[in-house]
Every structure is written in C-alpha cells, then in structure tokens.
Amino acid sequence: MNGQVDPRLHRLLGGEHLASLRKRLRQRFERAPLDEAVEYIRVGELTAEEHTALASLLGRSQRRSRSLRIDVGRVDADLRHAGLAPSLREALERLDGPISHLAKARVRLQTLWSGVIDGCNHPDLAGLLGTTAGIGLLKRLARQDANAAAELRQHAEKVLRCLPANGVTRSQLAAEVLGDAHALDNGRRVAALVLAAWRQSLTSAPCENGNMPIEPGQDADMEPVVGGERTRDTWAKAGVLVNELARPALFLNLPTGEAGSDRRPLGEPAYASLRSLLRSPPRWDAAGRTVYVCENPNLVAIAADRWGADCAPLVCTDGMPAAAQRCLLSQLAQAGAKLRYHGDFDWPGLRIGNHVMREHGAKPWRFGAIDYLAAVQTAPKPAHALAGNPVDASWDGALTLVMQEQRVAIAEEALAASLLQDLHDR
C-alpha cells in the first residue's frame, strides 16, 4: 500500500481481506478495449466482506447479494466529491500500484518490434525477420526484450556486411567486428542470428566459394546442428574458418592449372585443408573430366598403390563429407568436372550418396541395384548383416528394395578390384 493513501480509502477498499476484490476490479481496467472507457463493472461471487465494501462504495443498502453492478462514472464522481481519489482506477492504483492497460501495452510492444524489424538494412537478415520463424528466433534470442533485440540485430548486421569473407577465422571476424573474439562462438546469440540469416540466403541464391546447401541428419564431428547442418559447414559457405585444419580433404591426382605445383605430386595421395581451399582456391583443370569420388580413405591408398600417377582423379569424402570435402567437391563441380560417386552398400553409404549426388551433381559409379546384387554373390560367408533404418537411394529406386531383401552390407574396399578397372587413367 502507498504510504500516502487516505486512511478513509484504506478502510473502504484496503486490506488483505479485500485483495481478491481489488484484483478483479483491476483486471477489468487492464482488459478494457483500446481507446474505450470502462463504464460498468459487474463483480460476481462476492463474499460477505466484499459485498459490504462494495455496498458502502456504491452507497447502497446492505441487502446481501452474490453480485453487484458498478457504475464507474458515478463511483468516480463520489470518490472525487469525498476527496478520496480522482477515480476508482486511481484509488486502486494508490492501494496496489499502477494498472497496466493490456491493449495499449500490446500496441506499444508491437510498435517496438516493428521498429526492430523495419530498422534492419541487411537484405538477408530482413528476409529472415520477415518470416514467422525468423522473428520468433529473434524474440527467443533476445528473451522477448525488444531493446535487446534491436542491439542483437545491429550486431548481426555488422557481421553479415562482412560476408562472404575470404578465409578469415571466426574468432578474428568476431574480434574485428564485435570487439570480442568469442562473440560468434557456438551458442552465442549473435552467431545464431547470423547463421540463420546466412542459411536463409542460401535457399534462394547460389553460395560463394563453391559451397552448397547440405543434407540433414549427419553430425560426424559432434558439432551443433541446425536444420541438419553443422555450424562449421555454414560458416565455411560464408568464407569463415572454424577449425579450418580439421578433417582435410583427401584426393589423388586432381588436375590443376598451376604449373610446377609440388604440393599435389602425381601418384601420391594429398590433403587440402578448408583453410587452403578458401584462402587460395586451386585452379582446377577439370572441365569435362571424370573425377571419381569414394567414401573410404583406404580405397585411395589402394588406387595409389595400384596405378600411381596413372590413376584417374579421385576424391574421398571420408564418410559424410565435412566442410573441406564439401568445398572441394563444389569447386570441382563448378570447374566443370563430371563427378562419379561410389560408397559403402549400407544405409549410411546411401545417405552420403544422396547428399553427394544431389548437392554436387554427381552420378553413381558402380553404385546401383545390379552392382549390389553382384557384390552379394561374391561376398564372403557369413556375410556382414545390414543394420539400421532403410534409406531411399535417390538415383536408383530398386537399390533400396534389393538391399532390404538381401540384408547384406558390403564395404567399399571389398569392391576395390572392380573399381580399380575404372580408375586406370588410360
């Protein structure tokens, strides 16, 4: 209770025994329609004490009833005449504090959030905030605080103006743009908003640095995943390096237009980090050439031992391709290479095949239903059982069916003899 409340007002409506009554009266003012005065209030389920208090307020007889109808204008006039308060609303506020007008509060809040959205000047972020999911994300990140959201949006815009980058590290970008080297780490609010805006842009425009959207569901590096995509891969698409030396891309005999290059000796497997692929993209001399893509590093070693410098160009995804492998495959595809993919005949192998063929335009390489059935016939006994949930092969509808029938998994290395026939670069 306010210390300046007239004792008469307190005796009339104050006290804990009338707290519930005051709460119901306050709610009627809180829920009033926008720009509409409260003229009448009907209060029901009155206790004896509540009825007595209202009857005194209204100047009525004490005849007991369960509900009373309050003429607000008349009560306001009576309170003013008695010098207790300018109005019933004011009396309630003096007793229990300010009354919020919910309709006006909603309008003010909508105006604040509209200002946050309308103040966005970056097209990708504006596109994200123009969606229900996007504005919902911003509100969650800002914990429903419009002022915090405006600051968060401004920071995200600063970062997005620097994208795509050219192989800058994430910590360097964060330090230079936001003054905090960890401001874009996994789990930070600005990072989440930047990544969401960048992913939004990838759905409608080609991405830079030869990177493409990826398939949901795999997270071999145990990194945070949003919409099926590792954050490191999304940063890589934006030219930003996160753990840029992790899981480099393995390849053999990839042709380049770089004369005298000694970092990719013919006949020997070589690696390219995400750092090198983004900062110094090779000039792949691959237009019209077939580049074979395998899933397992062992096949690269087998091919190098068998054919050496005479082996056809070969790239290894090393399981589900990570950022470096995706970047390399996209660069080769953009250079005009004809990618041909082979992997393990198991459900993860089909999932990887779906990704490589869809996102990088690859074609199957001895990776169909007929090839699988031939492999089953020559597989050692007892065969390795096929486990897990089935995956539809986008390139061959019959492959999934025959794998479900045979229930045999075939490792890629077991098929090296047939694959090596194709890899001799005559």
Question: HEC states along the chain?
Answer: CCCCCCHHHHHHHCCHHHHHHHHHHHHHHHCCCCCCCCCEEEECCCCHHHHHHHHHHHCCCCCCCCCEEEEHHHHHHHHHHHCCCCCHHHHHHHHHCCCCCHHHHHHHHHHHHHHHHHCCCCHHHHHHHCCHHHHHHHHHHCCCCHHHHHHHHHHHHHHHCCCCCCCEEHHHHHHHHHCCCCCCCCCCHHHHHHHHHHHHHHCCCCCHHHCCCCCCCCCCCCCCEECCEEHHHHHHHCCEECCCCCCCEEEECCCECCCCCCCCCCCCCEEECHHHHHHCCCCECCCCCEEEEECCHHHHHHHHHHHHHHECCEEECCCCCCHHHHHHHHHHHHCCCEEEECCCECHHHHHHHHHHHHHHCCEECCCCHHHHHHHHHHCCCCCCECCCCCCCCCCCHHHHHHHHHHCECECHHHHHHHHHHHHECC
Q: What's the pLDDT band for 307 if we cut at 50, 70, 90?
A: very high
pLDDT tens column, 144-181? 999 999 999 999 999 999 999 888 889 889 988 998 88
Mean pLDDT value of segment 236-265: 77
Banded model confidence at residue 229, pLDDT cuts 50, 70, 90: low
Residues 6+ apart with CB under 8 A from 152: 138, 141, 142, 189, 190, 193
Q: How confident is the model at residue 204 (pLDDT cuts 50, 70, 90)?
A: low
- The whole-number pLDDT of residue 395 equals 97
* Other CB atoms within 10 A of residue 294 CB: 28
pLDDT at 310 over 60: yes
Which residue(s) pair with 363 in the sheet?
340
- The string of pLDDT tens digits covering residues 369-419 is 999 999 999 888 888 899 999 999 999 999 999 999 999 999 999 999 999
Which of 26-35, 75-84, 100-109, 199-208 is predicted with the least confidence, judged by mean pLDDT?
A: 199-208
Residue 169 tokens, joined = 């590290």
Strands 225-226 and 229-230, by their bridges, are antiparallel
| Per-residue confidence (pLDDT) for residue 113, from 0 to 100 | 85
Q: In this predicted structure, what is the pLDDT of residue 78?
A: 87
> What is the model's pLDDT at position 406?
95
The answer, yes or no, to whether residue 62 has pLDDT greater than 70, is: no
pLDDT tens readout for residues 217-226: 333 333 444 5
